[in-house]
A and B are shown apart, each in its own frame.
Chain A
Amino acid sequence: MGCVTPLTQMTAEPLLSLQDLTVRFRLPQGETVAVDGVSLDLAPGEVLGIVGESGSGKSQILYALMGLLASNGRAGGRALFQGQDLLALTEAQLDRVRGQDISMIFQDPMTSLNPYTRVVDQLAEGLIVHKGLSRADARAEGVRMLDRVRIPDAARRARLYPHEFSGGMRQRVMIAMALLARPKLLLADEPTTALDVTIQAQVLDLMAELGRETGTAIVLVTHDLGVVARLCDRVAVLYGGRVMEEAKAEALFDTPSHPYTRGLLAAMPRLESPLTPRLGTIPGTPRSGGGDLPGCPFAARCTERLDHCTTTRPVLQSTAPDRRSACHLIEAAT
């Protein structure tokens, strides 16, 4: 199969373009901003990682795209998918996009599957609804896909219920389901966080392989920089609902430019680097949202803070080709 997108389109038009995306929640004590003006582009077939700690707003970006925000949540800005603003679609229009052009997989594969329905029927449903296949054809296609995601003895296992699957197998079922309709875009929200490392490695391999084969673009949301390194072409680091830094994966890990990215990398214990008596730390606690702050959301925890970091918001701007960063320090240096 391979990627069928013509190169001209690759360079000319992104598959997905977030333009000043915001997500706000109404709460009894007032409004809170979870995602605060995020702009990101995704090329067809590209794998973009969105990394951040809890409360950074990373998952809410995906929920906003899929129209899955909690009832007190509201998305603003634009999310252009093939030129069409997902945020402006009606529920019925969105239903034609979801499961067909865009699929999503979630952190907890157990609660994402229907416990009362055989796995094969859950797989078939999307094909019957979106592609108009007969039940028998859809089931056969479902079994083929289970085999494809390396569920051993797929034909027999397809007739089982989700509780009869292990966690790793359930997540592979979710991936099979997400990729059945050959979507152009796969949104993955912490897809391997609930899995053991050996199973995580299997699932990540599978995502990389299937993504390459079908040309599906992936947005991977995770807190784990190791997972990002394994799968992603490009990375956006999120903090307090804002993009702190965006770069090609190699560049980001080789020369992290934002103090927050540097702090995160220093705080990660490694298997191979020389041991230090203490891990690097970022003082304080991750912040949820940052919309009500005049300055940089990370300023309160930043050890390299300048005077105007708490009063003036740094703008995300290009610091090198393919690289953007939102930090006054970098502005001062260039």
Chain B
Amino acid sequence: MTLLESRNLGVGYRIPGTGLFSAARMLPIVHDLSLTLDPGRTLGVVGESGCGKSTLGRALLRLIVPSDGQVLWQGEDMATIPDLRRRRAEMQIIFQDPVAALDPRMTLAKIVSRPLATFEPNLSRKDARARAVQALEQVGLSADFADRFPHELSGGQAQRVGIARAIVGRPKLIICDEPVSALDVSIQAQVINLLMELQEKMGLALVFISHNLAVVRHISHDVMVMCLGRVVEQAPRSEFYARPLHPYSQALMDAVPEPDPRREKGRVGTALAGELPSVLNPPPGCVFASRCPKATDLCRQTRPELRTVAPGRQAACHFIEA
């Protein structure tokens, strides 16, 4: 059964009106977004800053209440799940800044066991601590970390604690919001490997939000590319990386510098021209039209719908042959 599904999800933030006395407005961030995620699978969500990927991650857990559409958790509408706070044991989140995500005045054992006070209130303090120590060990931190404080940790260790806190309630899903972006390369690899191991052992599903296409390629089963709050392409991993179909996906892929000087030096001068349009003033047509080398008047005026362009693949572009 599908674990998580969003149907035509829309999310917006309230912002002040333009004048001193004008009413607050809704600033739409995520538009009409539908996705499904099966147990044990990883969906990679890629896009540039401001594309709405982090907002999507929070809305999927109803940490932000969507303004439109539905999120279904194992077929149940999240808006009507009774006692959602406790059900959140099944769905957890880890963040980009691993140190800021930990309370500096709590020991690691307290930080990691804290969710259990909500999820399993009948657990004794001793048992909760034992579970926390067990979770710390699962993420590769020995039991003597239990009584340390966050400031004693490196960034990589802090992210491991974030992961331990997420798995202590035995979740089915973890939303990973840029979990390795703040880490050094050698530590990034350790954390990615850890997430993949935990996924295999615990049957976890992951929504892996990242701006790094190479990292997403490594960890994901399916990939979704977002631009200005909309999905522009969705595909299984191997098909996507073998041949990205949307011009925006292609541009993102071309922009990633690879550790190969011969290839890179040959690509100098191929960068996209133009600026990302503002969320406050979205274009009427395709979200990528202002930067797309193939854009025509049709693209600037009419927004292409997301449609199936090959088995299992969807893209929103006027010029992809079905």
Asked whether A and B interact, the reply is yes
The answer to whether A198 and B257 have CB atoms under 8 Å apart is no
The answer to whether A270 and B252 have CB atoms under 8 Å apart is no
The answer to whether B186 and A286 have CB atoms under 8 Å apart is yes
A233-252 interface with B by 8 A CB criterion: 249-250
Q: Mark A88-110, 1 if CB is under 8 A from B, else 0.
A: 00000000000000000000000
Q: In chain B, what residue has the closest Cβ to A51?
A: B185
The answer to whether B271 and A285 have CB atoms under 8 Å apart is no
At the interface, yes or no: B83 with Cβ under 8 Å from chain A?
no
**One of A53, A204, A230, A250 near B186 (C-beta < 8 A):** A53
**One of A208, A250, A268 near B214 (C-beta < 8 A):** A268
Q: Given A166-B275, A208-B268, A281-B186 in contact, is the A271-B214 Cβ separation under 8 Å?
A: yes
- Smallest distance from the beta carbon of A148 to chain B beta carbons, Å? 15
CA gap between A197 and B265 in the complex, in Å: 16
CA gap between A269 and B212 in the complex, in Å: 10
Q: Mark A278-315, 1 if CB is under 8 A from B, else 0.
A: 11111001100000000000000100000000000000
Q: In chain B, what residue has the closest Cβ to A272?
A: B258
The answer to whether A196 and B48 have CB atoms under 8 Å apart is yes
Residues of A within 8 A of B255 (CB): 197-198, 200-201
- Smallest distance from the beta carbon of B174 to chain A beta carbons, Å? 19
At the interface, yes or no: B34 with Cβ under 8 Å from chain A?
no
- Smallest distance from the beta carbon of A30 to chain B beta carbons, Å? 19
At the interface, yes or no: B62 with Cβ under 8 Å from chain A?
no
- Smallest distance from the beta carbon of A300 to chain B beta carbons, Å? 13
Q: Mark A77-91, 1 if CB is under 8 A from B, else 0.
A: 000000000000000
The answer to whether B261 and A169 have CB atoms under 8 Å apart is no
Q: In chain B, what residue has the closest Cβ to A256?
A: B259
CA gap between A48 and B122 in the complex, in Å: 61
At the interface, yes or no: B147 with Cβ under 8 Å from chain A?
no
- Smallest distance from the beta carbon of B277 to chain A beta carbons, Å? 11
Interface of A is mostly: helix
- Smallest distance from the beta carbon of A290 to chain B beta carbons, Å? 16
CA gap between A115 and B192 in the complex, in Å: 39
Q: Given A197-B252, A285-B154 in contact, is the A267-B185 Cβ separation under 8 Å?
A: yes
- Smallest distance from the beta carbon of A170 to chain B beta carbons, Å? 12
Residues of B within 8 A of A286 (CB): 154, 184, 186-187
Residues of B within 8 A of A224 (CB): 257
At the interface, yes or no: B188 with Cβ under 8 Å from chain A?
yes
- Smallest distance from the beta carbon of A209 to chain B beta carbons, Å? 7
At the interface, yes or no: B267 with Cβ under 8 Å from chain A?
yes
Q: Given A226-B259, A264-B186 in contact, is the A279-B218 Cβ separation under 8 Å?
A: yes
The answer to whether B192 and A269 have CB atoms under 8 Å apart is yes
At the interface, yes or no: B211 with Cβ under 8 Å from chain A?
yes
- Smallest distance from the beta carbon of B251 to chain A beta carbons, Å? 6
**One of B49, B193, B254, B267 near A279 (C-beta < 8 A):** B193
Residues of A within 8 A of B275 (CB): 152, 166, 168-169
Q: Mark A197-238, 1 if CB is under 8 A from B, else 0.
A: 111111011001100000000000001111111101000000
**One of B188, B212, B253, B271 near A205 (C-beta < 8 A):** B271
The answer to whether A270 and B259 have CB atoms under 8 Å apart is yes
**One of B187, B217, B259, B267 near A265 (C-beta < 8 A):** B259
CA gap between A166 and B188 in the complex, in Å: 28
At the interface, yes or no: B311 with Cβ under 8 Å from chain A?
no
Residues of B within 8 A of A230 (CB): 257, 261, 264-265, 267-268
CA gap between A229 and B70 in the complex, in Å: 45
CA gap between A198 and B293 in the complex, in Å: 14
The answer to whether A201 and B259 have CB atoms under 8 Å apart is no
Among A168, A205, A285, the one with the most B-chain Cβ atoms within 10 Å of its Cβ is A285
Interface size on A, residues (CB 8 A): 51
Q: Given A198-B48, A253-B261 in contact, is the A53-B185 Cβ separation under 8 Å?
A: yes
**One of A198, A269, A301 near B251 (C-beta < 8 A):** A198
Residues of B within 8 A of A204 (CB): 257, 268, 271
Q: In chain A, what residue has the closest Cβ to B271?
A: A201
The answer to whether B189 and A229 have CB atoms under 8 Å apart is no
At the interface, yes or no: B215 with Cβ under 8 Å from chain A?
yes
Q: In chain A, what residue has the closest Cβ to B272?
A: A198
CA gap between A275 and B219 in the complex, in Å: 10
Residues of A within 8 A of B198 (CB): none
The answer to whether A226 and B154 have CB atoms under 8 Å apart is no
Residues of B within 8 A of A37 (CB): none
At the interface, yes or no: A54 with Cβ under 8 Å from chain B?
yes
Residues of A within 8 A of B252 (CB): 197-198
**One of B157, B190, B211, B215 near A281 (C-beta < 8 A):** B190
The answer to whether A269 and B217 have CB atoms under 8 Å apart is yes
At the interface, yes or no: B196 with Cβ under 8 Å from chain A?
yes
The answer to whether A223 and B184 have CB atoms under 8 Å apart is yes
The answer to whether A281 and B262 have CB atoms under 8 Å apart is no
Q: In chain A, what residue has the closest Cβ to B263?
A: A229
Residue pairs across A and B with Cβ atoms less than 8 A apart, 29 shown, are A53-B186, A169-B275, A196-B49, A197-B211, A197-B213, A200-B257, A201-B255, A201-B257, A202-B271, A205-B269, A224-B257, A229-B258, A229-B264, A230-B257, A230-B264, A253-B259, A264-B186, A267-B188, A267-B189, A269-B192, A269-B212, A269-B215, A270-B259, A271-B217, A279-B189, A279-B193, A281-B186, A281-B193, A285-B157
Known: A166-B276, A197-B252, A278-B196. 17 other contacts (CB 8 A): A53-B184, A166-B275, A168-B275, A202-B273, A204-B271, A226-B257, A226-B264, A230-B257, A230-B265, A250-B262, A253-B259, A264-B186, A267-B185, A267-B188, A271-B213, A271-B214, A282-B189
Chain B residues near A (Cβ < 8 Å): 48-49, 154-157, 184-190, 192-193, 196, 211-215, 217-218, 241, 251-265, 267-273, 275-276, 291
